[in-house]
């Protein structure tokens, strides 16, 4: 184990040397690939002693050609590249592990995992886990390593009589992360965030459809769907899974307009669950936590939130409803026996006698009130119930 101290501030008349440190976490997507390419170029042009890539990734979602080109850039860069799989539970899995195999220097922190066998070549230097435990010891351990004929100078060591040598860094570390805009896109393109944005956006748009007009819910829903579309374009998306999620929203909408969860609600729930499970292709998977959260949230909204909103929108004060008995309107959804009618330029849940189903466009007359539901009959039919009103 090494004991180390920070780098000195730079001696008089001597420019301080530095190493660049870039942090990459999450899936290696186009945003991350561009970030790493830019970091390599800036470190080469800036004369950095080395570029350290702190890597923690479950895999890559860029094309094989793009990944091969990125690995070649890491292997042939004019600045020595050291990949450090560091941090609590850090990993480099799937195709992203090819970046580790291409790096001239690799360090693995304790408990770090890499899904590849590193090639045993003279250019591949694998540091042990004690030297790679934290960033400071990893930088110090680079001292004296040779990459493409260049010997790295990152620390000086002072022997100790009763213990490990003390390392004093001779370089300064410059940390770099994704800018705000690219960082947001990188976050949006993570599988759970894309899925939750898609589910929330579609649910909010459906909510807005039944509240009349365009409001905050519709605007937020449109933004969520647009952001999820970017994530779906980046991630390996299964078209069947996406189609099932969209079909589920149609099924929910059929029953929401009647105000009663029935067959189509069950179809919507099954379709949404199956579509969620099939949404992503390998190597991406959704995970149980976002899956359960998305399904529970959407189902609760469709079973409780939306029907309550529809009933609230359709309902009016009791005195107003009583005055509607005798009014004439038209059916806007098949009544057999339940459906929706338009009376006084407003939509109402309605019920008719099972013996007299009504088609879309048929004229109806209000013959009674049952809570928030109108009882109607075909226009011109006998009206034995006229004047009857019941309250719940």
Which of 146, 270, 248 shows the shortest CA–CA distance to 199? 248
Q: What is the pLDDT of residue 15?
A: 64
- Report the percent of the chain where pLDDT is more than 90: 38
Name the CATH architecture for the domain at 3-176.
Alpha-Beta Complex (3.90)
**pLDDT band per the 50, 70, 90 thresholds, residue 265:** confident
pLDDT at residue 324 greater than cutoff 90: no
The mean pLDDT of 150-160, rounded to a whole number, is 85
| pLDDT per position as a tens digit, 39-72 | 999 999 988 999 999 999 999 999 999 999 999 9
Mean of pLDDT over the chain: 83
pLDDT at residue 33 greater than cutoff 70: yes
**pLDDT band per the 50, 70, 90 thresholds, residue 158:** confident
186-195, 227-236, 251-260: the lowest-pLDDT one: 251-260
Which of 4, 51, 40, 49 shows the shortest CA–CA distance to 153? 49
Q: Where are the domains of the chain?
A: 3-176, 189-313, 318-390
CATH class entry, domain 318-390: mainly beta
State the Cα–Cα distance between residues 191 and 181, nearest whole angstrom.
18
Instruction: Return the higher-pLDDT residue of 32 and 3.
Output: 32
* Alpha helix (H) residue ranges in 77-215: 97-102, 135-141, 180-188, 191-209
State the Cα–Cα distance between residues 156 and 142, nearest whole angstrom.
11
80-89, 117-126, 176-185: the lowest-pLDDT one: 117-126
**pLDDT band per the 50, 70, 90 thresholds, residue 146:** confident
Long-range CB pairs of 265-269, under 8 A, 24+ apart, other chains included: 265/302, 265/303, 268/302, 269/299
CA distances from 365 to 331, 368, 374 (A): 10, 9, 10
State the Cα–Cα distance between residues 22 and 53, nearest whole angstrom.
5
Q: Which two tokens stand for residue 197?
A: 């944005």
Burial classification of residue 115, based on how many CB atoms lie within 10 Å of its CB (0-12 exposed, 13-18 middle, 19 or more buried)? middle
The mean pLDDT of 102-130, rounded to a whole number, is 75
pLDDT at residue 116 greater than cutoff 90: no
Bridge partners for 51 per DSSP = 20, 81
| pLDDT per position as a tens digit, 203-234 | 888 888 776 656 787 889 999 999 999 999 99
Q: What is the pLDDT of residue 167?
A: 79
State the Cα–Cα distance between residues 210 and 261, nearest whole angstrom.
15
**30-46 and 180-188 helices, crossing angle to 10°:** 150
4-18, 165-179, 269-283: the lowest-pLDDT one: 4-18
Q: What is the pLDDT of residue 387?
A: 44
CB 292 within 8 A of CB 298: no
pLDDT at residue 123 greater than cutoff 90: no
pLDDT at residue 256 greater than cutoff 70: yes
Which of 314, 354, 307, 316 shows the shortest CA–CA distance to 334? 354
State the Cα–Cα distance between residues 102 and 98, nearest whole angstrom.
6
**pLDDT band per the 50, 70, 90 thresholds, residue 260:** low
pLDDT at residue 356 greater than cutoff 50: yes
Which of 22, 31, 26, 21 shows the shortest CA–CA distance to 66? 31
Q: What is the pLDDT of residue 62?
A: 92
User: How many residues are given for the chain?
Assistant: 392
Q: What is the pLDDT of residue 372?
A: 74
Q: What is the pLDDT of residue 1?
A: 44
Q: Which two tokens stand for residue 347?
A: 């939509």
The mean pLDDT of 317-330, rounded to a whole number, is 72
| pLDDT per position as a tens digit, 359-392 | 998 999 988 888 778 889 888 765 544 444 444 4
pLDDT at residue 34 greater than cutoff 70: yes
**pLDDT band per the 50, 70, 90 thresholds, residue 357:** confident
* Alpha helix (H) residue ranges in the chain: 30-46, 64-76, 97-102, 135-141, 180-188, 191-209, 216-234, 239-256, 263-277, 288-300, 306-314, 318-322
List, in order, residues 6 or more apart from 29 with CB less than 8 Å away: 60, 61, 62, 186, 189, 234
State the Cα–Cα distance between residues 51 and 139, nearest whole angstrom.
10
């Amino acid at each position: 184990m090494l004991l180390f101290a920070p780098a000195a501030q730079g001696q008089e008349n001597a420019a301080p040397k530095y190493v660049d440190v870039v942090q990459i976490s999450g899936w290696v997507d186009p945003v991350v690939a561009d970030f790493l390419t830019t970091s390599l170029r800036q470190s080469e042009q800036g004369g950095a002693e080395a570029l350290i890539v702190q890597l923690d990734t479950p895999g890559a979602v860029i094309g094989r050609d793009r990944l091969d080109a990125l690995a070649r850039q890491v292997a042939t860069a004019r600045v020595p590249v050291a990949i450090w799989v560091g941090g609590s539970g850090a990993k480099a899995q799937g195709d992203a592990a090819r970046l580790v195999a291409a790096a001239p220097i690799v360090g693995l922190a304790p408990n770090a995992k890499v899904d590849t066998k590193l090639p045993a070549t003279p250019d591949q230097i694998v540091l042990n886990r004690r030297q790679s435990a934290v960033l400071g010891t990893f930088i110090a351990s680079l001292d004296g390593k040779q990459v493409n004929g260049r010997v790295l100078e990152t620390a000086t060591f002072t022997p100790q009589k009763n213990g490990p040598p003390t390392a004093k860094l001779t370089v300064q570390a410059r940390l770099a992360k994704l800018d705000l805009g690219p960082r947001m896109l990188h976050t949006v393109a993570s599988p759970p965030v894309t899925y939750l944005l898609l589910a929330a956006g579609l649910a909010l748009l459906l909510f807005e459809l039944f509240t009349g007009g365009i409001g905050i819910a519709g605007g937020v829903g449109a933004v969520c769907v647009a952001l999820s579309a970017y994530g779906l374009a980046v991630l390996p998306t299964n078209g069947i899974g996406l189609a099932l999620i969209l079909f589920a929203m149609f099924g929910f909408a059929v029953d929401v307009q009647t105000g009663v969860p029935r067959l189509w609600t069950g179809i919507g729930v099954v379709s949404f669950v199956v579509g969620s499970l099939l949404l992503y292709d390998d190597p991406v998977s959704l995970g149980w936590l976002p899956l359960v959260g998305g399904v529970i949230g959407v189902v609760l909204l469709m079973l409780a939130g939306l029907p309550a909103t529809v009933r609230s929108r359709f309902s009016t004060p009791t005195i107003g409803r009583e005055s509607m008995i005798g009014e004439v309107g038209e059916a806007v959804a098949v009544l057999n026996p339940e459906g929706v009618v338009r009376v006084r330029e407003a939509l109402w849940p309605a019920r008719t006698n099972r013996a007299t189903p009504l088609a879309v466009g048929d004229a109806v007359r209000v013959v009674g009130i049952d809570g928030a539901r109108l009882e109607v009959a075909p226009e011109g039919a006998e009206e034995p119930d006229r004047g009857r009103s019941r309250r719940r």
